[in-house]
Amino acid sequence: MSDDRIGVRKTYKLAIGGAFPRSESGRTYVVRAADGGFLANAARASRKDVRDAVVAARKAQVGWAAATAYNRGQVVYRIAEMLEDRRAQFVEAVEAGEGVDARAAGALVDAAVDRLVWYAGWADKVAQVAGSSNPVAGPYFNFSLPEPTGVVGIAAPQESSLLGLVSVVAPAIVTGNATVVVASELRPLPGVTLAEVLATSDLPGGVVNLLTGSLVEVGPVLAAHRDVDALDLCGVPAELVTELEQLAAGSVKRVLRPPAAALDWRERPTPHRMLAFVETKTVWHPVGV
């Protein structure tokens, strides 16, 4: 191959409803490597893109929640298989974006695959941990069962472009929620590449909608949207958290605040993030004769 070949500069799009549209505004921004070099262009999402993503998530959530927990686990496991198949591409994207060497990038990609497998295994076990059979004074069965909250808006971690992203998206979807995710603004390429994987997996279109661009611009729109049921503010800068919480209060959203100290996403996860976005439904049923 000729050394003087002109490079093909990619412009990545948004991922909404299983499709890859351009931003409604037509805007893009330059994504640079950790060393300042050009990597690609990414779409800069607008208010209209957020609204479109919420509509797609709401449409997909009903069917996704109706799937069996076992089926959801199998779908998430399939995503892990596909990410593993494209490991080299993800390693290159993480290495360039996060400024780590190939070995460290490979370890982060491997951890992301393992994280998906871990959450896939939890899919049909959440109800056993969070549910209960309650004693009552009467001839009734009384069960408390976890159900998905609905549409979850997620601000992905800014520094951990793949492992952090997987660590916040997987627990939300494995419990039956649909998501609107704002990827890392400076390191969006692993996220948009993951969206390409999702589009060819068994995950229904609209369960994960991924936006790129400025969190300062689209975050308030997502927080105030009345058809968003919950927010994960993990990747929100400290100066923006209070504003988004106040906007979320207008429709009484569940809000998972960012941690006080920076998280090390390589540490072993806990069920906490799955349980943050489920509601407990209690059902009474008469005891049969």
Q: Is residue 256 part of a domain?
A: yes
Q: Is residue 240 part of a domain?
A: yes
Quick check: is 1 in a domain?
no
Domain span holding position 148 = 11-286
CATH number at residue 122: 3.40.605.10
List, for residues 87-106, the tens digit of each pLDDT value. 999 999 999 999 999 999 99
Q: Is residue 5 part of a domain?
A: no
**Residue 142: predicted pLDDT:** 85
Q: Walk along the chain (289 residues) and give the pLDDT tens digit of each residue.
A: 556 777 778 899 999 999 999 999 999 999 999 999 999 999 999 999 999 999 999 999 999 999 999 999 999 999 999 999 999 999 999 999 999 999 999 999 999 999 999 999 999 999 888 888 888 888 888 888 899 999 999 999 999 999 999 999 999 999 999 999 999 999 999 999 999 999 999 999 999 999 999 999 999 999 999 999 999 999 999 999 999 999 999 999 999 999 888 889 999 998 899 999 999 888 888 887 5
> For residue 160, is it within any domain?
yes
pLDDT digits (tens, 9 = 90+) for 202-218: 999 999 999 999 999 99
Domain assignment present for 3? no
44 contact partners, CB below 8 Å, separation of at least 6: 23, 25, 27, 28, 29, 212, 213, 214, 217
Residue 2 lies in a domain: no
Q: Is residue 105 part of a domain?
A: yes
149-196 per-position pLDDT tens digit: 999 999 999 999 999 999 999 999 999 999 999 999 999 999 999 999
Closest CA to 221 of 52, 83, 79, 84: 52
pLDDT of residue 289: 54
Count of domains observed in the chain:
1
